[in-house]
Amino acid sequence: MRDGTLGVAVIGTGRMGSDHVRRIDEVISGARVAAVVDLDGERAKGVAALVDGCAAYTDPAAAMAADDVDAVIIASPGPAHEAALLEAFARDLPVLCEKPLTPDAASALRVVEAETRLGHRRVQVGFMRRFDAEFGQLKAVLDGGGLGRTLMLHCTHRNASTPPGFTSRMTINDSVVHEADVTRWLLGQEITAVTVLRPAPSAAAPEGLSDPQLVLFETSGGAVVDVEIFVNCGFGYQVRCEAVGEHGTARAGDAHGLYVNAAGRWGGEIAQDYVVRFKDAYDREVQAWVDATRRGGVIGPSAWDGYAAAAVCEAGVRAQESGGRTAVTLAERPDLYRAADRS
């Protein structure tokens, strides 16, 4: 590290990647953006130009080989993650990899196996809800035991609208993957089976997209989790999770920001997207990654967590297509991840 500052290469400079570049440049301490990479060279150059001393590349391997690159953020689309992760492992570079770890369970397991061969953890997966203050409070309440055993989770995941080409399969792999991780994290249990119910679609749903859907998880500890996924709800971005325990309930995600009374009405604004709603969580996630990396450690969701979520999604897509209850198949967890920090 130059002057004790972590030199980061950000791979993929689209919505998330460019936001992480801005975050490291403006918010995060102890790190600088040394390089950005995008297959679209003009986009990479445009983002690099905003940061002093930042180089632009079109090849992830070339950026990772640069002298001043100490660590990598992968924010390219999911199908490009495996190659970038394996390249980072070859150079033993620490990685913050945006979710999903990879788009399917088989490729996610290959990543787990490659990291296991490396012999130490190098990956933090970008499940940022684990760094959201309110979700953290919910986790602390459940771990504290005051509500008794958690019996059910009721989750809501709504987006204002979807980009062109967003498919029903993506509602599971790109959206519900967050609830798969949140469920495993909050309950400390594996998800054993998935069922997907598809009501008659909303008139606002693009042709061919099942929207909304109700996804049901069963867990190894006997809990049941329902997830309303509604990706063209039209009015904003909302993520909620209510835990129902033996002695009470606790809910994260209800109210955010300013509460206004005016003109005979009460209320406030609904965030329109995740970049706004989870801004603080992304800041904490990246700062935690930088701090742990500078100390030579790794925290947060592991490659195993990324694989387990991918296995749930694979069962979810099969359940969506068959209409039936589908069991989740999980490989044996390598020892490397047994003592993994589940923060």
Pick the closer one to ligand NAD by CB: 74 or 315. 74
Pick the closer one to ligand NAD by CB: 253 or 336. 253
Residue 292 and residue 279 in contact, taking contact as beta carbons nearer than 8 Å: no
> Could you tell me the smallest distance in angstroms from the CB atom of residue 74 to ligand NAD?
8
Residue 226's alpha-carbon distances to 13, 135, 182, 196, 266, in angstroms, are 34, 17, 12, 10, 29
End-to-end Cα separation, the chain, in angstroms:
26
Strands (E), the chain: 6-11, 31-37, 55-57, 71-74, 95-98, 123-126, 150-158, 191-197, 213-219, 224-230, 238-245, 249-252, 260-262, 265-267, 326-327
> Could you tell me the smallest distance in angstroms from the CB atom of residue 337 to ligand NAD?
21
> Could you tell me the smallest distance in angstroms from the CB atom of residue 168 to ligand NAD?
16
Pick the closer one to ligand NAD by CB: 96 or 141. 96
Pick the closer one to ligand NAD by CB: 174 or 314. 174
> Could you tell me the smallest distance in angstroms from the CB atom of residue 248 to ligand NAD?
29
CA distance 203 to 50: 42
Pick the closer one to ligand NAD by CB: 6 or 9. 9
Show the tokens assigned to 120: 């130490």
CA distance 331 to 311: 9
φ and ψ at 225, to 5 degrees? -125, 125
> Could you tell me the smallest distance in angstroms from the CB atom of residue 47 to ligand NAD?
9
Residue 227's alpha-carbon distances to 172, 177, 215, 216, in angstroms, are 11, 11, 5, 6
Our separate counts of H helices and E strands in the chain read 11, 15
Pick the closer one to ligand NAD by CB: 62 or 147. 62
Residue 198 and residue 331 in contact, taking contact as beta carbons nearer than 8 Å: no
> Could you tell me the smallest distance in angstroms from the CB atom of residue 57 to ligand NAD?
9
Pick the closer one to ligand NAD by CB: 175 or 293. 175
Which spans of this chain sit near ligand NAD (rule: CB under 6 A)? 11-17, 37-40, 43, 60, 75-78, 80, 98-99, 126, 128, 174, 274
Pick the closer one to ligand NAD by CB: 28 or 336. 28
Residue 56: beta bridge partners? 36
φ and ψ at 67, to 5 degrees? -60, -35
What is the Cα Rg of the chain in Å?
20
Pick the closer one to ligand NAD by CB: 39 or 276. 39
> Could you tell me the smallest distance in angstroms from the CB atom of residue 122 to ligand NAD?
18
- Residue with the shortest CB distance to ligand NAD: 14
Q: Give the DSSP letter of residue 27.
A: T
> Could you tell me the smallest distance in angstroms from the CB atom of residue 279 to ligand NAD?
11
Q: Which residue has the tokens 């035991």?
A: 145
Residue 193: beta bridge partners? 218, 327
> Could you tell me the smallest distance in angstroms from the CB atom of residue 336 to ligand NAD?
23
